[in-house]
Amino acid sequence: MTHNEERAHWIREGVIGMGVGVLYGLTNVVVGHPFDTLKTKMQGQAGFENTGMVQTFWKTVKTQGVRGLYRGCTPPLLGSGIYRSLQFAAFEAVYTHQNNGFGMHEIPFSGGLQLRVLMGAACSATVRAVIETPLEYVKVRGQTNQSWKLVKVYTGFGITWFRTMGLMTTFFITVDSGRRHFPEHFKRPLVGPLLTAGIAATLAWWVVWPLEYMRCQVQCSYGKDMSVIQRMRLIVNERGGFFALYRGLTPGTLRSFFANGASMVVMSYAHRKVSQLGLRGDTKSL
């Protein structure tokens, strides 16, 4: 569903999704990590509680230099290619495997959404959460100048899985809707993938942003003796109401749009090259 090429066997599509997903993940980190650093500092580092995005940027550059924007990038650079490749591999394998009456059943009142999109998204989210949680833990600790411990790398797994389920479901539903309703737009080699993935990822992050904020709080050990619900209530009560849960949304939105848009452009190009080189073998239409 993340490409317009004719599909091969579901196992082969899973392997191809794994390969091109690596390119997606690496591009995502290179383009998006500086924005992610600003978001993390605004959400979880002492001294940045009341600073805006621009102030956080200049404060970081002044104290740590431009390299400070890429602090903590090693774990996601190494791991993003892995978990994003597996998240796309899981989705493409399930989506292609369920090319049958059950999987292609359209959910009532959904505008043509098929069950296999939700099934693929759920598998994708679970795979991603298992791999992403320790990587995000190490990254967040590095971005906020804290040490990390191996025995605690799965700190925040529950909130990460719940966030990722909402994130991937929204992302794949939006991409699927875009492909079905604007097929010619999606086929444009640069603008189509850039806008489709950028908009889909940004919408998905807006939906789950309070959960992302809580994940960051948990992994930063901010208010470590409180539950997630207690943290949310504290932030709402002390920092200006419900919209305080959307702190860091501006750099997060910029990161999401440009990083995912650029990554989808790279991944779409890779899918076309795979087909041109005949690596899909015998294919079948969607």
Strand partners for 7: 284
Question: What is the predicted pLDDT for the residue at 116?
Answer: 97
Chain centroid to Cα 67, Å, comes to 23
| DSSP codes of every residue in 123-184 | HHHHHHHHHHHHHHHHHHHHHTT----GGGTTTTHHHHHHHHHHHHHHHHHHHHHHHHH-HH
Query: 10-276: CATH homologous superfamily?
Result: Mitochondrial carrier domain (1.50.40.10)
Question: What is the predicted pLDDT for the residue at 282?
Answer: 64
Question: What is the predicted pLDDT for the residue at 76?
Answer: 75
Question: What is the predicted pLDDT for the residue at 3?
Answer: 73
- Shortest CA distance to 74 belongs to which of 162, 25, 155, 138? 138
> Quick check: 113 and 83 in contact, CB under 8 A?
no
Q: What is the pTM of this model?
A: 0.79
Tell me how far apart the alpha carbons of residues 219 and 33 are, in angstroms, rounded to a whole number: 17
Residues 6+ apart with CB under 8 A from 155: 133, 137, 218, 219, 221
Question: What is the predicted pLDDT for the residue at 286?
Answer: 46
Query: Mind listing the pLDDT tens digit of every residue in the chain (286 residues)?
Result: 677 778 878 888 888 988 898 899 889 988 998 998 888 888 877 778 678 888 899 988 988 888 888 887 877 777 778 888 899 999 999 999 999 999 999 999 998 999 999 999 999 999 999 999 998 898 888 878 888 899 999 999 999 999 999 999 999 999 999 888 877 766 676 777 888 889 999 999 999 999 988 898 888 876 667 888 888 888 888 777 888 888 888 888 999 999 999 998 998 889 888 988 888 876 654 4
Q: Burial, 46: exposed, middle or buried (Cβ in 10 Å; 0-12, 13-18, 19+)?
A: exposed
Question: What is the predicted pLDDT for the residue at 178?
Answer: 85
